[in-house]
Chains A and B, each alone.
Chain A
């Protein structure tokens, strides 16, 4: 397997620099994000989108308010169906639980359907360390597994690669003859993966939603790999973040509708696989053993810390496709399993090791395009603002920033100091601008971050308030000061 050139543990600034300097990434993102965003707009536009978004939002809020009861209801029903439910508090617990299940069932080979939850807890590495072969079967996940790379998008894990790059990877790793035809590339993958499915002992998937009232785990896929993962191997394990719960079958289809339309812009996916426990006598297929692992990994803390709204997320990736920051830097620059605006909120609040995680809430211009695109109406800009407040309150900010902000606040608290600063600024900036004939081309210190690429205008020679005072001179007006 190839060694990846993508290192998520590098510092934030390095990750961003690498991403912005990667011309192929720019092409790949340009090709995909715009298309996905357009498809979402069309698919949501075909239904009463405000109503759908309201309904899903209210349902998710109900779930979060009733989380303990609903989880226990789910456990009761999964158990009644003959499945086993495991409660995993942290990432290591998921790893331990699934390695134990695999050892007991004498598992040699694991096939996996796409799952962000298992990425989050680094399950593959744990299974491999325990001596098992793990094969990703979602095409995108399979490609990045061959390349040794982490996913860079919630639903399109290989969005950072162009078809040209994917062809190179397949030629190198699978001896595929040179081609850029996606059909040919797909059929090569299908040929390899079919053999893996038939010889696998265990299937692992995530869970798009689980229905509490029936004990049913649902996965939404377009390639059929999910169906084979859940039905062919002897043992089937589902890993589910505890927020992926829905109360009823009707709610499941509500979330399904929002998910398909917002993620890939489909009316419905090609496959919706629903598993309610292991194979029963007389069933044509299905696993002999069924396990559901409920994953917390900080989600309960998110609720307690006031970031519970992010648990309404149904992982559609719509916020990534419209985010002007994501469109420039892609997913890896975020350094986390979860990227884009939702990743910048989840990563600092969930229990994950992410290098420079404090920088993520600042990786946004707070433009709000994410909130408009979100099918659950998560107020991501507001949460990013609150996370920034937390970063500052915890003192994880530069001394310079703090001193600067305190000075700024003091200066703005007094009209006299504001006006003096303005006069000084006008003098200084006009001097700087004079040097470069019109606009300021260079500013010192941290302000160079502006003038590296942009000019800045000098301050006005006479401020608005100075002009205003002249205008109202001698008249008695409301709001005027003694200088008028």
Chain B
């Protein structure tokens, strides 16, 4: 694991690595991220040259196709950090942070110059909750949620970056929220990038196991730190017609999430007890 950059004084300005999925599909997650950072007094800049970090290609074995994207990413973000124009790079994604701060080392192993720059950049790149809790020292961000929350630990975030305590800490401090633990919260939802399409049936079976556990937890929303896993989980929940939805943690923390009202509780279906003398066929 990369040794993370240490800060002598609180970081003042960060560059947002919004990730292509957030940019294109979930801009509200990006906006929530900006809001959370600005509320802590951190200035956010957004380098508009950024596109995709190359993970889909890398993950599928197409390293040749992923490399130009990795070099491009380094060229956009590394000079900002190197020249101290920003103190750090922050992304609302465990998976894309893993790709850029962890897998670039492997992908760029034959290009030492780029690899060194990638390592330097990687040390200054933080996943959102990691940045809030570990760097800024925030635990209670002042969020409010009227309902039951559960947490799904996304795999790259949890196992590659070792980030689990941070999002859970932030959620535990959300006012009004009852946080419940679902069964096997750290088990993969079955997304896995192209795996979801190439091995669609296995991916679906894994996802169904996950959604069963989510539904069983009886939460109003399941918070997580990656919109890719969120898309997978919500794709299944939506197809199944469930009420509960997965939401990005930034949305919860920025008070963006409204709870879908619970369906009227069905009236007790148990029939009233009949007098004993008419039971067991006694007429």
Q: Chain A residues in contact with chain B, CB under 8 A?
A: 16-17, 20, 324-325, 328-329, 361-369, 371-372, 382, 385-393, 397, 401-402, 405-406, 408-409, 412-415, 418, 422, 425-426, 438-439, 441, 446-447, 449-450, 452-457, 459-460, 462-469, 472, 477-481, 483-484
Are A463 and B23 in touch, CB under 8 angstroms? yes
B86 cross-chain contacts in A, Cβ below 8 A:
478
Question: Would you call B239 and A453 a contact (CB within 8 A)?
Answer: yes
Q: How large is the interface on B (under 10, 10 to 19, 20 to 34, 35 or more residues)?
A: 35 or more
Q: Determine if B49 and A409 form an interchain contact, defined as CB atoms under 8 angstroms apart.
A: no
Q: Is the CB of B23 within 8 A of A455?
A: no
Cross-chain contact B198 with A449 (CB below 8 angstroms): yes
User: Given the complex, which residues of B lie within 8 Å of A364, measured CB to CB?
Assistant: 192, 195
| CB-based contact A468/B196 at 8 Å | no
Chain A residues near B56: list those with CB within 8 A: 405, 408
| CB of B7 within 8 Å of the partner chain | no
Residues of A close to B24: CB separation below 8 A = 422, 425-426, 459-460, 463-464
Closest 5 CB pairs of A and B: A365-B192, A388-B61, A454-B235, A479-B47, A367-B188
Taking a contact as CB atoms closer than 8 A, the residue among A328, A460, A477 that contacts B202 in the complex is A328
Collect the chain B residues with CB atoms within 8 Å of residue A484's CB: 48
Q: Is the interface of B mostly helix, strand, loop or mixed?
A: helix
- Of residues 38 to 82 in B, which have CB atoms within 8 Å of A's CB atoms? 45-49, 51-52, 54, 56-66, 68-69, 72, 80
**B→A interface (CB under 8 Å):** 15, 18, 20, 22-27, 30-31, 45-49, 51-52, 54, 56-66, 68-69, 72, 80, 85-86, 103, 106, 155-156, 159-160, 186-188, 190-207, 209, 231-232, 234-236, 238-239
Question: Do B27 and A460 touch across chains, with their CB atoms under 8 A apart?
Answer: yes
In the complex, 18 of the A-B residue pairs with CB atoms within 8 angstroms, ordered by the A residue number, are A17-B201, A324-B209, A325-B206, A328-B209, A365-B195, A366-B155, A367-B188, A368-B156, A369-B188, A371-B159, A397-B61, A409-B65, A418-B52, A450-B196, A450-B197, A454-B207, A468-B48, A469-B48
A467 to B106, CA, bound (A): 35
Q: How far is the CA of A456 from the CA of B23 in the complex (A)?
A: 16
Q: With A324-B190, A324-B206 in contact, is A368–B18 under 8 Å at CB?
A: no
Chain A residues with CB under 8 Å of B198's CB are 362, 449
- Residues on B with beta carbons closer than 8 Å to the beta carbon of A449: 196-198, 200
Residues of B within 8 A of A465 (CB): 18, 23, 46, 48
Tell me which of B52, B106, B199 contacts A382 (CB under 8 A). Answer: B106
Cross-chain contact B190 with A365 (CB below 8 angstroms): yes
**Taking the nearest CB of chain A, how far is it from the CB of B152, in angstroms?**
12
A389 contact set on B, CB distance < 8 A: 61, 63
Contact present for B27 and A467 (CB under 8 Å):
yes
Q: Once the chains are docked, how many angstroms separate the CA of A143 from the CA of B78?
A: 60
Q: How far is the CA of A156 from the CA of B212 in the complex (A)?
A: 28
Most buried by B among A368, A401, A477, A479: A479
Known: A329-B202, A365-B195, A425-B24. A454 touches B57 (CB 8 A): no
B203 touches A457 (CB 8 A): no
Q: Is the CB of B187 within 8 A of A369?
A: yes
B66 near A365 with CB under 8 A, answer: no
13 A-B pairs besides A415-B49, A469-B48 with CB distance below 8 A are: A16-B202, A20-B205, A365-B155, A371-B159, A388-B60, A402-B62, A454-B204, A454-B207, A454-B236, A459-B25, A463-B27, A464-B24, A483-B48
Partner pick for B72 among A401, A405, A413, CB 8 A cutoff: A413
Cα A460 to Cα B63 with chains together (Å): 29
Q: How far is the CA of A16 from the CA of B203 in the complex (A)?
A: 12
Chain A residue nearest in CB terms to B159: A368
What chain A residues lie within 8 Å of B190 (beta carbons)? 324, 365
- Within the assembled complex, what's the spacing in Å between the Cα atoms of A447 and B22? 20
Closest-CB distance, A217 to chain B (whole angstroms): 36
Is there contact, CB below 8 Å, between B48 and A324? no
Which residues of chain A have C-beta atoms less than 8 A from B201's C-beta? 16-17, 20
Nearest CB in chain A: distance from B44 CB, A: 9
Residues of A within 8 A of B66 (CB): 409
Residues of B within 8 A of A438 (CB): 238
Within 8 Å by CB of A457, from B25, B205, B239, lies B25
Contact B106 A406 (CB under 8 A): no
Q: Which residues of B contact A418 (CB under 8 A)?
A: 20, 51-52
With a cutoff of 8 Å between Cβ atoms, the chain B residues found around residue A426 in the complex are 24
What is the distance, in angstroms, from B242's C-beta to the closest C-beta of chain A?
11
A-side contacts of B202, CB under 8 Å: 16, 20, 325, 328-329, 363
User: From B206, which residue of chain A is reached at the shortest CB distance?
Assistant: A324
Which of A390, A397, A464 meets B27, CB within 8 Å? A464
> Closest residue of chain B to A411, judged by CB?
B51
B222 to chain A, nearest CB (A): 16
A371 CB contacts on chain B under 8 angstroms: 159
For B235, what are the chain A residues with a Cβ–Cβ distance below 8 Å? 439, 450, 454-456
